[in-house]
Chain A
Amino acid sequence: MSITNRFKNRLIAKVITRYPSLAQRFISAYEPWESGEAVPWAPPQKPLAECTLAMVTTSGVHHSTQEPFNMQDSEGDPSFRAIDGATIGSAYKITHDYYDHSDAEKDLNIIFPLQRLQELQQEGVIGQLADTHYSFMGHIDGRHIATLIGQAAQEVVKRLKRDQVDVVLLTPA
């Protein structure tokens, strides 16, 4: 994608964040993938105070040292970044041209509420917070949807299982 296009996307993102009613055009034009399959259902079996919880976000946040998401591809970047809960707060970047993340740069918790979860863990509301969380950039379209579902999401599922995660909280942007 050209630099002009990236500039255009960022400008649109700023405008629709400020005037949400203008976003309706973009939302209605977007056709999300529809499976027609039954809604998956695996309700939690234990109280939250006994659960291990991880977060998955589609806000495009990642460690400053990690490779940024690819913003050149108009169909998005279906890869994910593993987020270390212990260090993400000190040096993070948000790579995502499709929303205005200037507020999230001031306070990560508005897209990735890690500090709130850490407090709830200390208070005993949440049993255990997983060490690793996962971040995608969202805004995936076209051919990358299959990669997202068939590969990236499956790898994240495998890691969540390995980490014995019981509950996942998902946050968008």
Chain B
Amino acid sequence: MGLIQREIEKAGIATVGVTIVREYTEKVQPPRSVYLKWPFGHPLGEPGNVKQQRAVVLEAFKALYGITTPGEIVDLPFRWRRHDYESYEEPDNLSPGGDKQ
């Protein structure tokens, strides 16, 4: 996935990827990633868990604007099946120079 991401970014389109295998991502070095230590087949979480899926998507967007070092991987603090998404605070400034990591 990181290889495709690099090609898209090379063409001038901004990219952010969700990864569940940190080791691959460290080697391939796509421009921006958020990492979750979650099982294969579940990069956005569990079926039907809308709040969880939404939080991952929003954290990816936060990283899209917040990462300033090419190749950086943000480790998300969401623990598999043990995180309470009720207290998740959504980013409110998804724009260049907005939310910093």
Contact = CB atoms under 8 A, between A and B. Distances in A.
B76 interface: no
A47 B96 contact: yes
A169 B19 CA distance: 11
Interface stretch (A3-11, A38-46, A69-77, A85-93): A38-46
Contacts, number: 197
Size bin of chain B's contact surface: 35 or more
Contact of A157 (B11, B14, B23, B64): B11
B7 A154 contact: yes
A139 to B, nearest CB: 10
A46 B96 CA distance: 6
A168 B14 contact: yes
A82 interface: no
B54 A39 contact: no
B15 A34 contact: no
B18 A172 contact: yes
A31 B47 CA distance: 31
A169 B16 contact: yes
Q: Which 6 A-B pairs have the closest CB atoms?
A: A47-B95, A107-B47, A39-B70, A170-B17, A44-B14, A40-B9
